[in-house]
Structure 1
Amino acid sequence: MDLDGFDDAFGTNENGSGPPPTNGNGVEESDPAADFLAREQSNLAGLEDDVLSSSPVANIITNGNGLLDRSASPDLVIPSGDDDNLRPRSPSPTVFSQSVFSEPREEPEKIRIWREEQKMRLEEKDREEELKREELREAAKKELEDWYKSHEEQLISNRKANRNAEKELVAETEPIEPGSEWERIAKLCDFNPKGSKHSKDISRMRSIILQLKQTPPIKRQQ
């Protein structure tokens, strides 16, 4: 509240100085307005002193880092973890960094040449790999055809050998004579087999067949 105007109007003369007006007897004339303003100024001054002395903000003391000094202000309650909010903040570099990285950068000549050469080398390598894959496909196809051809020839040869063996067996078939049974059985046996670990031992059986071939049992005459 600006009270200087009231002071000029009621407490001083025209030139801003001089005693207050008096009556004809030389006694100072009491001015009710001036007295009222003086009382209001005194009350306002006392109120301002009370507010400043009771405010906790006036007692806040910061340390050298710009943070609140809790030891100097024990009456001030500050929640834990809020020191970062009271720390003076520096301008965020986000806008600056975005403006810097958003600017288009021209690629150096050496890097551009290297990229072109690398691209050509990769394309050439891809062509060579494709040619090698095609060669492998052709080789695999030829090997498969050769295997089918060899397998077919083997089947034909086996069929022919089986037919010949069947013909020979039929040609040699004669009426069974008494005492020749074991000799014919011995012809069907292989007495020189190639033994293996997983095959059964039939040596005892072969020896019995040979013995029966040489000395066939005599049938009892009825």
Structure 2
Amino acid sequence: MADRFPSLEDFSAGQTDVVETNTAEDNDDFLARERAALGEDAEQFATSQDHVADVKDDNDNLLGGAEDASPVAAEVSGFESSFPAIDTQNEQVAPGGTITGTGAPFPPSGYASYQEPQEEPEPVKRRTNSTREWRARRDADIARRVELSEEKKEATVKKAHEDIDDFYVSYNNKADKLRSQTRTDAEQFLANREDTSAGGTSWERIAKLVDISGKGTRGGASGSGKERFREMLMDLKKDQNAPGVSGV
């Protein structure tokens, strides 16, 4: 293609016309020279398209357009059919900005459309009501048991306090009685000791210290084993001449 235009030197000299050259013949001569240089090895580089590629200029087309453009047109048509043009014009928007259209559904989005809650079937509703009633009865029963447990706990604690108070009252009363009895016995013992140490014979003073009433085991009752000792002590008490009467 460069052969069609004058060189810079020729252009400076005043040549401005395009020189027509036979490019196809020059290409054929070049290929012939290459085949001659390769010799027998030229067949190794031969292809089925060596004699088919023939580009001819058409109406001084600088891009070298071919005479037959039908293959290119077929490829363009196939591309357009596979990838149609995108029409960005919104036909549903009026010039004034009013949205128009046929009311076709909107394209699906990532959010599900809202639906009214459907009424539950009758068996499911009955089971739900039964479950709700059972839970209500259970909660009421638990509340009743908790209330009874609290009442029982309060009653138990109250009774425990009362029992403790009664125990201390009874203990204090018994302690007071025991102390009073002990004090009385001590006074009586001291009085008896003074009485036995003065007056009468020795056996009389001894008889005062020993129970010879004849009542019970301590008093020497019949069958108690102390009956003989009681009788002997009474005889010594009555005998003024008994040994040891004077206490010597």
Task: Name the TM-score, length of structure 1 as normaliser.
Answer: 0.43
Larger RCO, structure (CA 8 Å, separation 6 or more): 1
* Structure number, greater radius of gyration: 2
